[in-house]
Amino acid sequence: MSVRILLFCACLLLWRGASAIDEVFQTEEGALRGYDVVAYHEEGRPVPGTAEFTHVWNGATWRFSNADHRDRFAADPERFAPQYGGYCAYGTSRGYKVSTQPDAFAVIDGKLYLNYSKGVQQTWSKDPANFIRIADTEWLKLEHEAYTRGD
């Protein structure tokens, strides 16, 4: 193979990775339906973000309830960002992407996990360590796949 072809292939792979098309669950309000991801960690509850305080990361617009939360996220997004791009942790463990609701969440070992609904969260909460272990592996297959279900 020529060097040009190899470089072209490498560029395509990098472009695909950088596009982050469906790597983050987002709606018209932004990532995670516009909720402030730092608030989950700091306040232990879902807090709506505002259009006044935003930051673009990983192909999505993230909203925050205040400038401090925005700045803290911008400085270390991987610390605050939800696991599996904000898609349902239980769904990810089952091999598919599914939307989440802001009030169906858990912070475990400093990581934010969201679920499709409170009912799904109850199932997930019965054995989160096992579901996380499985979802960590499944996410490697799902991360770059298109999200085809509704919000």
State pLDDT tens for residues 99-138: 999 999 999 999 999 999 999 999 999 999 999 999 999 9
* Phi and psi torsions of 73, nearest 5°: -65, -45
Single-letter residue type at 9: C
24 three-state secondary structure: coil
- 144: its two tokens: 């770059």
Condensed to tens digits (0 to 9), the pLDDT of residues 23-60 reads 899 899 999 999 999 999 999 999 999 999 999 999 89
CA distance 140 to 123: 23
* Amino acid at the residue 113: Y
Mean pLDDT, the chain, rounded, equals 87
The pLDDT of residue 150: 62
pLDDT of residue 110: 96
Residue 4 scores a pLDDT above 70: no
The answer to whether the pTM exceeds 0.75 is yes
Q: Which residue has the tokens 């990532």?
A: 31
